[in-house]
Amino acid sequence: MEVNKMNDIDNNDLPIIRVAGVPEHFNEPWRIGLEKNLFKNEGIDIEWYSVKEGTGSMINKLKSNEVDVIVALTEGLINDIANGSDIRLLGTYVQSPLVWSVSTGANSIYNSIEDLKGEKFGISRYQSGSHLMSCVLANQYGWKQSDLEFIVCHNFDNLRKSVNDNTTAAFIWEYFMQKPYYDKGEIRRIGQIITPWPCFMIASTTHLISKHLNDIKKMFIALEKACLLFQTNSIDSIKRISINYGLNEEDAKAWFDKVIITPTNTISESTIETTLDALKTAHLLNNENAISDPIRFIDTRFTKLTVDIKSMRLYNKPELLITLRNNLRVAGISKGPISYIDLLPYDQNHYYGTQVLDLAVNELKLNQYDQNSNWFIQIGSNLAGCARYLAGKYQLKVLAIELQNDLSQTASELTERCRLSNYVHHIAGNFLNVAEHLQENFYYGILSWITILHFNQNERIRLIDQSYRLLKENGFFYLEDFIRIGNISYDESIILEHDLYYLKTKMASTTTGKIAEFRRLLSRAHSVLVLTGAGISAESGIPTFRGAGGLWRQYRATDLATATAFSRSPSLVWEFYHYRRELVRTKQPNKAHIALAEAEANFEKKGKRFNVITQNVDGLHRRAGTKNLIEMHGHLHYTYIFVKHNYFFYINSGNLFMVQCTSCGFIEENNSSPICESLRNRGLPDENGPDIDENDLPRCRKCKCLVRPHIVWFGERIWDDVLETIEKEIQLCDLFLVVGTSSVVYPAAGYASILAQKNIPIAEVNVETTPSTSIATYHFHGPAAQLLPQLLLSNINDE
């Protein structure tokens, strides 16, 4: 076991937490946190232990008190807790699933997973991920556990040797850790299995949690910051992964683009239930007294259990794949090329089978359109039987989106075997998230069988919004929820009346009542706190940092708004900010900005508090007249203090029109247009000119050195004076209003949760649902410029 203490700051007074994890790319954010002293900044010290033997070894070290916290595979942790150990889950670390690649020797006789039945599998140790997932794989393929024999090889190096000296037939390990060895021809990939759950959790024992509870909270805060640095500095992170783990940059980028590392103290019930079902079905969890209640797997002093759509039994059916594999094997079509027609008895897992698909094609006349240029989306594609049928019979091109990773993976394999990969593309994920990355105005139609009833009311609004954005002009959304053929029953009509008609009428009939209710609450409030994000400025025509407006030229704005990007190419970053400065000059505060300013004035007349926190740097709030404004990405006053080592600590208002010298630290407002002559007519999104010489970029008025925008960039620490002021307002707040923010960037994303825990009423105004929606007392769906005047004006007289 290798110990990494990467910090060079000596502080023996800090409490120490010993953390163990595998030496793999998933744990790179921990290294960043140590290098940047993020943990010490929160008042704790981390000793990092690299355990290459994996999850089983880490569990043993945790139980023997060799470490305090482990970052381990979900299935290994849940298996151990279910069998009665005192380990408890602290939170989710990697939200994305793990791609386990099945490997064999370079010259072995095995060419598919089907060839491995009855053969020897190499594992690092019993109860490790390589062992558990081998059992799950066997189960999915309908094998008996007695068909497997395991050889303990201890680590990845020995596993690779074992398949080449014929000690074992195959082993399972994470794909990208194996990719360099595939490229060198040392081992061969013959299949894969994807876990249908988040792949890494953070855990400890009940005793150690009691001992370190406050320090664990600090650890998560620092880890969140480290992960944010890792995600926002994508270019640097990809290079780190490439160098540290022997991947070429293309592979490192492919891994980086798919992985979701967002440490949180929440765990979904479905994660625990799905993993338990997989372990039981694979006969790995045969203990009659095994723990099954999800709440018993977490430590409720720190961790929260949540419910999501995957908690429905519909989304937790491991027997579906087992039945499919067995049926294909009995039919003699378990491997090799196959026709989509041969699959029809096994892959049509929806009401009324192909009959309902033919009906849709005929009614919509889909076979009359140019199949080469029109793509369709199927939401909830399951095993993609519908998509393959539409592609095979009617030559339609279908993007099949399925929430469950294991189903999507199997569906993709079947599509490839049917030679329909040019017609059917597969994506695993929640449509509401996947849609954000799809091309607007591109798809001719969206098809779905049994969709609406699986989305709650707020999610349905997003479903329709996203669908409308993706469809071409005159495109359609065709949906069926078990009612298309034949008369519906009374029970079904009640469901539809509640879930569909309710969707149309409830919003119209209750929004007015909710606004009146909110106004009464507002009139009784004494200290209102408002948080605004990019959405409110988007209504003034200013592009956001996310979504379709987040691209400038070929770059994501989040990649340019970093100190690393400025160091690498100050010319590029200044062109980007010059474009934004000139754009903002042409925009005006909208009715939402003005409503907030007027509400502030009304509250002040009554001697009450009304403060606005904004994540925006465009200055529109100030131009609208808001005075009690906290600009999170700047500072609060126009004074400065001299501190030692010739470093100037400035307290200032940060926005697009403030600049800071990179040498002497001098800060001033600069409203010149252009800010320097070399930037005149530069920065247009669709133009790429030569780099501007650094000497011709904006310079400091005092020392003549290069200046930068005076804004807190991604990866930079928000100034303490700003955070202290916000903390004070949170303590005083008795009503919180969240407007136009995605609620995904911390620390702002955490304010709603803090106030919800204090039972402070929360109202959200947004055109989409966000992580804050579920904890909001009120969610008002729509543009802020339309809703805020209704919510805020005349409120002070409603008493």
The Cα–Cα gap between 170 and 120 comes to: 7
CA-closest candidate to residue 62, choices 30, 86, 29: 86
The Cα–Cα gap between 393 and 613 comes to: 56
Which tokens in the block code for residue 348? 């049509």
Pairing of strands 443-449, 471-480: parallel
For 634, residues 6+ apart whose C-beta sits below 8 A from its C-beta are 617, 652, 653, 654, 655, 658, 710, 711, 712, 722
Q: Which of 633, 635, 779, 781 is catalytic?
A: 633
CA distances to 51, 247, 310, 319, 454 from 449, in Å: 46, 41, 17, 21, 11
- Please tell me whether residue 91 adopts helix, strand or coil conformation: strand
Other Cβ atoms less than 10 A from the Cβ of 431: the count is 26
Pairing of strands 527-532, 609-614: parallel
Write the single-letter amino acid at 343. L
Contact yes or no for 110/170 (Cβ under 8 A): yes
The Cα–Cα gap between 685 and 575 comes to: 9
Does a cis peptide bond (omega within 30 degrees of 0) precede residue 543? no
The Cα–Cα gap between 54 and 177 comes to: 13
Number of H helices and E strands in the chain, helices first, is 29, 32
Segments in 395-546 forming alpha helices (H): 405-417, 431-434, 457-470, 490-496, 502-524, 534-538
Burial 185-217 (b: 16+ CB within 10 A, else e): ebbbebbbbbbbbbbbbbbbbeebbeebeebbe
CA-closest candidate to residue 573, choices 586, 557, 585: 557
The Cα–Cα gap between 236 and 229 comes to: 10
- Catalytic annotation present for 633: yes
CA-closest candidate to residue 535, choices 260, 788, 227: 788
Contact yes or no for 69/209 (Cβ under 8 A): no
Contact yes or no for 411/391 (Cβ under 8 A): no
- Please tell me whether residue 777 adopts helix, strand or coil conformation: coil
Residue with tokens 């005006």, as numbered in its chain: 588
Pairing of strands 551-552, 555-556: antiparallel
For 44, residues 6+ apart whose C-beta sits below 8 A from its C-beta are 14, 15, 16, 17, 215, 218, 219, 222
Ramachandran angles phi, psi of 611, nearest 5°: -125, 145
- Please tell me whether residue 443 adopts helix, strand or coil conformation: strand
DSSP state of 498: I
CA distances to 534, 541, 549, 555 from 685, in Å: 19, 15, 11, 10
DSSP state of 298: B
**Catalytic sites, residue numbers:** 633
